[in-house]
Structure 1
Amino acid sequence: MSRAEQPSRRTVLAAAVAAAVAGGTGPAAAVSAPAHDAGASGQAPPVDYRAWITYPDWRSGAGKGVRAVPGSRPGVVIATPAGTTDYTDPHTGTTATWEYATWTSPVHRLRVPATEAIASWNAQTPAGTWLQVELQGTYSDGTDTPWYVMGRWAAGDQDIRRTSVDGQTDGKSTIWTDTFAIDDSTTGLRLVSYRLRLTLYRKPGTRLTPVVWRLGAMGSDIPDRFTVPASAPGLAQELLVPRYSQEIHAGQYPEYDNGGEAWCSPTSSQMIIEYWGGRLTPEQLSWVDPGYADPQVDHAARHTYDYQYTGCGNWPFNAAYAATFKDLQGVVTRLGSLTDLETLIAAGIPAITSQSFLKTELTGAGYGTSGHLMTVIGFTAEGDVIANDPASPSDEAVRRVYLRREFENIWLRTKRYNASGKVVSGTGGVCYLYFPAHPSSRQHKALAAVGVC
């Protein structure tokens, strides 16, 4: 769980929900082609995920000091730096000089104007390097947002402390940790287009460079809803995903969000990473107390920790962590139904879902939470959800079966009542998807069917 029944940064989005219940800069760019866009049907979905992943994608952006690299996994790297800059790490107080280079995507026009947007990326950052991701968009009233920082990230923590950036707003939209959100969606204001900017950093005088293989963002306009339509069961299948409990890590490394009791996100991430064959070496795990079971969970917590949010639940940071493992990709998106999850499970792709609920709303869970991640690994013959729920007392107890109707509703709704009877927000179908860098044709088809490619 993520700080069970304490206010999470997600609940700040409930301000707009409550209102509904109560009554720039940079080079000019052409609109991007629709390749890799979500949804191939004639009717536009309320979710639009767009990614830049191919060599032509990287060539289509505006670069200063970068170059696109071809190959089996194309990306963008520093070529000749555009200049140097000083960065004072707000979490250490250390000021250092860095060489930098930038890549700016073409403008992507959202098929469905959005109330929220979440960026995610896949990259390698050797020691001595890091990166920043920014988003700048245009509103439906014709004005532009500022360049918003969506994350300052490194795979390790020896150079900078990976961090979200608080306090970013222009009076029309705000960044809540990892999520761009229109401040008051009831006004009809929407984000109609955006572009993303990468800034790659390295120690001066070196030939080090980050390499970014995937950069994308999900824009959505999910209707306000306390309940969602029921979907019909369509699959009986279970994937063999490793089981890890966050609870057995309670009290371990409290500097990372007070220890394991709050580690639902990295624990879920580690389960799926290992499902795909990702393994940590003894050297990578050597910092963990040898008396701790499942040290890879401690490692995942440390390497997803957001020093500003002071937690391990930053959605893009978890996807980026997964992609540090060989031949894995990770994205953050929204899905529309359990039918979408069935499509993925049928192709062998488990998913990490984000939900919040009262203890009485999910039979068999035994707890309530303001924000929790778990891994969907299959469906029973009756259509109920088989989940690896890390909020379990042991690894053996992680596998749970949750009633289809209850699970679907707590995951997909955007409004709910908390234990005090106050209207707060739901995640509206947010999930992490981790999958091979080179998906099989079946996997690619399933991903494309849910808007990811």
Structure 2
Amino acid sequence: MTAPTPRRALLTAALAAAAVATVPGGKAAATARPGRDADTGTGAGAAYPTIDNRFWYSYAHWQAGTHHGTKAVAGTRPGLEIGTPAGRTEYTDPHTGKKTAWEYAGWTSPVHRSAVPATEAIASWNARTPAGTWIQTELRCTYDDGTTTPWYVMGRWASGEGDIRRTSVDGQTDGRTTVWTDTLAVDTPAKAAGTRLRDWQLRLTLHRKPGATGGPTVWLAGAMASGVPDRFTVPPSKPSGTAHELKVPRYSQEIHIGRYPEYDNGGEAWCSPTSSQMIIEFWGRKPTARDLAWVNPSYSDPQVCHAARSTYDAAYKGCGNWPFNAAYAATYRDMAAVITRLASLTDLETLIRAGIPVITSQSFLPEELTGAGYGTSGHLMTVIGFTGAGDVIANDPNSPNDAAVRRVYRRTEWENIWLRTRRHNAAGKEVQATGGVCYLYVPARPGVAQLAALRSVGVI
């Protein structure tokens, strides 16, 4: 469960997964698929898509963009690096007041024409940032009337804290769109003839200390755009009838209540990093003893503390920045991670059968999810399987201890609270809901079945 935050309460966001090197896609989910009732909320045979994904990660992808001092690097995991710096700049960290000089180089993607008349866009990136380096990710969109947004900063990011404070950027708007922490959103999406985002570009700026060699490496970058319609309910999907459960480690966020106030105090604020750590370890990756040396040795599950510190957004003042969680997951060996939306529980079942657990975002009142025992304005949990009847098996970090994390939730209730875009809060006020947001973490070179599943749900 995430602590209530005005910015996050105002809108929803997304997760997608993609892999690098051997993944041949990065395509938009450009056509509606038969029987995907939840695509539009208007029944089977929907005629248009609502989710569009585009990521760059191959050597050819990095070559295709416009370089300003960067270079494409080939190899088993192609990437983008600084070649000859384009110049020098000074950055004053708003959270420390420290002013530092940096060399920089930039890369601008080709324009991507969205398959979706979009109301939101969320960037994702996977990168290595050694000490003395950091990256900035920006998006610029074209409206359906041909005018463009400014370049919006979607994140200033480093895996550590020694050079800059990892941060989103508040206050960015042009009066038609606004950046809310990690999501670029149209201000009035509910209007029938309202503004929509037609296409977009992504810009990366890589920084290093002046005179240094090397620098950051970006392995994957891109965005998910979506135009999910307003809906309080979604048509239920048909269960596959096959039980399947993945053995994912179980971690409780609640055992960390009061730990590290500088990283939002544990407990309900740590659902996102706790969920991230579960899936990172499912794939066989773990922080090293050196990574954990700073954690109080009396604390249980110190890796969750490490995940919270590594995802903390100094502007948001919390660990719930979705792309920051994906970027953290991708710091582990040969891991790839993105943010997207999925269309239905059918998509989730496809991924689970291929061995891919999924982190999902949802909000609900206590009576809307039988067996949860709590309500939330925003919460992340990890879907690890389905029963034979199609009910959802989740590792829910909002549990009193690790042993209690595994839960089984009723399919129709769970699907509705995850996929709807509108709901009523405890005061009876109409508010936004997350609309199918999820995090997808996979190996950089997924297996054949995993690739097929990712293609099937439209993320590559």
Scaled by the length of structure 1, what TM-score is found? 0.94
Q: Which aligned pairs between 1:334-345 and structure 2 lie closer than 5 A?
A: 334-345=341-352
> What SS class does the counterpart of residue 299 from structure 1 fall into?
helix
CA contact (8 A) 1:117 1:179 kept: yes
- Whether 1:107 aligns to 2:107 is no
Residue of structure 2 aligned with 1:271, choices 269, 273, 278: 278
Gaps of 5+ in 2: 13-23, 33-46
How well do the aligned residues superpose, as a CA RMSD in angstroms? 1.2
- Whether 1:366 aligns to 2:373 is yes
Question: Hey, what does 2:2 align to over in structure 1?
Answer: 2
CA–CA separation in structure 1 for the residues paired with 2:457 and 2:220: 18
CA contact (8 A) 1:319 1:331 kept: yes
CA–CA separation in structure 1 for the residues paired with 2:262 and 2:110: 40
Question: Hey, what does 1:39 align to over in structure 2?
Answer: 29
Gaps of 5+ in 1: 15-33
Of 35-44 and 349-358, the range deviating more from structure 2: 35-44
Runs of 4+ in 1 over 4 A off after TM superposition: 40-44
CA–CA separation in structure 1 for the residues paired with 2:265 and 2:375: 19
Question: Hey, what does 2:137 align to over in structure 1?
Answer: 133
- Whether 1:447 aligns to 2:442 is no
The structural deviation recorded for 1:13 is 3.1
Question: Hey, what does 2:159 align to over in structure 1?
Answer: 155
CA contact (8 A) 1:126 1:208 kept: no
CA contact (8 A) 1:39 1:449 kept: no
1:237-256 Cα offsets, whole Å, 9 max, x none, are: 00000000000000110111
The structural deviation recorded for 1:188 is 2.0
CA–CA separation in structure 2 for the residues paired with 1:365 and 1:398: 11
CA–CA separation in structure 1 for the residues paired with 2:220 and 2:122: 14
Q: Which aligned pairs between 1:226-265 and structure 2 lie closer than 5 A?
A: 226-234=232-240, 235-265=242-272
The structural deviation recorded for 1:10 is 2.5
Question: Hey, what does 1:204 align to over in structure 2?
Answer: 210
Amino acid at match of 1:9: R
CA contact (8 A) 1:129 1:208 kept: no
CA–CA separation in structure 1 for the residues paired with 2:440 and 2:9: 23
Amino acid at match of 1:410: I
The structural deviation recorded for 1:452 is 1.7
Question: Hey, what does 2:97 align to over in structure 1?
Answer: 93
Task: Quote the sequence identity (%).
Answer: 68
CA–CA separation in structure 2 for the residues paired with 1:389 and 1:9: 24
Amino acid at match of 2:222: G
Residue of structure 2 aligned with 1:51, choices 55, 58, 66: 55
Amino acid at match of 1:398: V
> What SS class does the counterpart of residue 89 from structure 2 fall into?
strand
1:302-335 Cα offsets, whole Å, 9 max, x none, are: 0000000001000000000000000110000000
CA contact (8 A) 1:128 1:208 kept: no
Of 252-261 and 330-339, the range deviating more from structure 2: 252-261
Residue of structure 1 aligned with 2:363, choices 356, 362, 368: 356
Question: Hey, what does 1:347 align to over in structure 2?
Answer: 354
Amino acid at match of 1:283: R
Q: Which aligned pairs between 1:77-92 and structure 2 lie closer than 5 A?
A: 77-92=81-96
Amino acid at match of 2:256: H
CA–CA separation in structure 2 for the residues paired with 1:449 and 1:149: 31
The structural deviation recorded for 1:222 is 0.3
CA–CA separation in structure 2 for the residues paired with 1:419 and 1:39: 35
Q: How many residues align?
A: 432
1:174-230 Cα offsets, whole Å, 9 max, x none, are: 000000000012142100000000000001111131100100100000000000010
CA–CA separation in structure 2 for the residues paired with 1:416 and 1:137: 28
1:28-70 Cα offsets, whole Å, 9 max, x none, are: xxxxxx9521326465420000000111000000011110001
CA contact (8 A) 1:38 1:50 kept: yes
1:348-369 Cα offsets, whole Å, 9 max, x none, are: 0000000000111111111100
CA contact (8 A) 1:38 1:448 kept: no
> What SS class does the counterpart of residue 193 from structure 1 fall into?
strand
CA–CA separation in structure 2 for the residues paired with 1:431 and 1:8: 21
> What SS class does the counterpart of residue 403 from structure 2 fall into?
coil
1:61-106 Cα offsets, whole Å, 9 max, x none, are: 0011110001111110001100000000000000000000000000
CA contact (8 A) 2:82 2:215 kept: yes
Amino acid at match of 2:198: V
Of 253-262 and 377-386, the range deviating more from structure 2: 253-262
CA contact (8 A) 2:30 2:115 kept: no
Scaled by the length of structure 2, what TM-score is found? 0.92
Evaluate the alpha carbon distance shift between residue 421 and residue 197 of structure 1 in structure 2; reply closer, same or farther with a 3 A threshold: same
The structural deviation recorded for 1:261 is 2.9
- Whether 1:397 aligns to 2:366 is no
Question: Hey, what does 1:305 align to over in structure 2?
Answer: 312
Amino acid at match of 1:204: P
Q: Which aligned pairs between 1:178-197 and structure 2 lie closer than 5 A?
A: 178-185=182-189, 186=191, 187-197=193-203
CA–CA separation in structure 2 for the residues paired with 1:376 and 1:95: 43
CA contact (8 A) 2:30 2:49 kept: no
Question: Hey, what does 2:10 align to over in structure 1?
Answer: 12
> What SS class does the counterpart of residue 396 from structure 1 fall into?
helix
CA–CA separation in structure 2 for the residues paired with 1:415 and 1:102: 39
CA–CA separation in structure 2 for the residues paired with 1:281 and 1:73: 22
